């Protein structure tokens, strides 16, 4: 799916998950434009509050977890655009939750804007986020198009996860490891 986004839009794409209070980039496809965003390397951890993927993942936390995140440590300013107010971030996350998409307008790197959407598992829980990273100079004119594209990509990945989950048989007759082991010998 990341490759398809790059083919259609020529911009760098990422897949990320939440790990502790950071986002961990687990996949990436570099864009094809002459001037393209290199983006985070696979394995890189970044502050969640300053990235579109992080905002998508933070927006899905319950109130207690979100409050813990907002009060655990100060929100680091990485650029002049980075949100550092816990209240402002909480408001932005509510908007993300309602819209189903998050935007980073140069909050991690000033010249890079990103849009991200949630990937859900077969139970509907957000497990990852997919994003498109774009040079700021190309973002404004394409924002709505990129938002629709990243939402569609996230939905396709979500459907793939759900379909894969439907294939896995859970009956013990198909899984010897789930069969009763028998009685345990008693200690004398």
Which pLDDT score is estimated for 164? 81
Longest dimension (CA), the chain: 78
Q: What is the pLDDT of residue 5?
A: 93
User: Residue 143: which residues within 8 A CB-CB, separation 6 or more?
Assistant: 103, 115
Question: Are the C-beta atoms of 17 and 23 separated by less than 8 Å?
Answer: yes
Two structure tokens written together for 121? 């598992």
The burial of 152, by beta-carbon neighbours within 10 Å (0-12 exposed, 13-18 middle, 19 or more buried), is given as: middle
Euclidean distance between CA atoms 92 and 101, whole angstroms: 11
Contact 100, 116 (CB under 8 A): no
What pLDDT score was predicted for residue 21? 86
User: pLDDT tens track of the chain, all 188 residues?
Assistant: 899 999 999 999 999 999 988 999 999 999 998 777 887 889 999 999 999 999 999 999 999 999 999 999 999 999 999 999 999 999 999 999 999 999 999 999 999 999 999 999 988 999 999 999 999 999 999 999 999 999 999 999 999 988 887 665 555 444 454 444 444 444 44
> Do 63 and 76 form a contact (C-beta atoms < 8 A)?
no
41: left (phi over 0), alpha (psi -120 to 50) or beta: beta
CA-atom Rg of the chain in angstroms:
20
CATH of domain 2-166: 3.30.450.40
The pTM of this model reads 0.84
């Amino acid at each position: 799916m990341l490759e398809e986004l790059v083919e259609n839009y020529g911009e760098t794409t990422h897949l990320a998950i939440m790990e502790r209070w950071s986002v961990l980039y687990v996949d990436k496809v570099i864009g094809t434009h002459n001037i393209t965003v290199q983006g985070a390397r696979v394995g890189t951890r970044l502050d969640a509050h300053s990235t579109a993927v992080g905002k998508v993942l933070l927006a899905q936390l319950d109130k207690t977890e979100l409050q813990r995140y907002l009060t655990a440590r100060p929100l680091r300013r990485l650029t002049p655009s980075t949100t550092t107010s816990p209240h402002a971030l909480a408001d932005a996350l509510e908007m993300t939750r309602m819209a189903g998409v998050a935007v980073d307008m140069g909050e991690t790197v000033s010249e890079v804007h990103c849009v991200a959407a949630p990937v859900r598992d077969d139970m509907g829980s957000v497990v990852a986020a997919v994003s498109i990273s774009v040079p700021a100079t190309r973002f404004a004119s394409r924002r709505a198009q990129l938002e629709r594209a990243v939402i569609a990509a996230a939905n396709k990945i979500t459907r793939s996860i759900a379909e894969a989950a439907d294939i896995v048989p859970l009956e013990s007759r198909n899984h010897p490891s789930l069969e009763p082991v028998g009685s345990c010998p008693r200690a004398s």
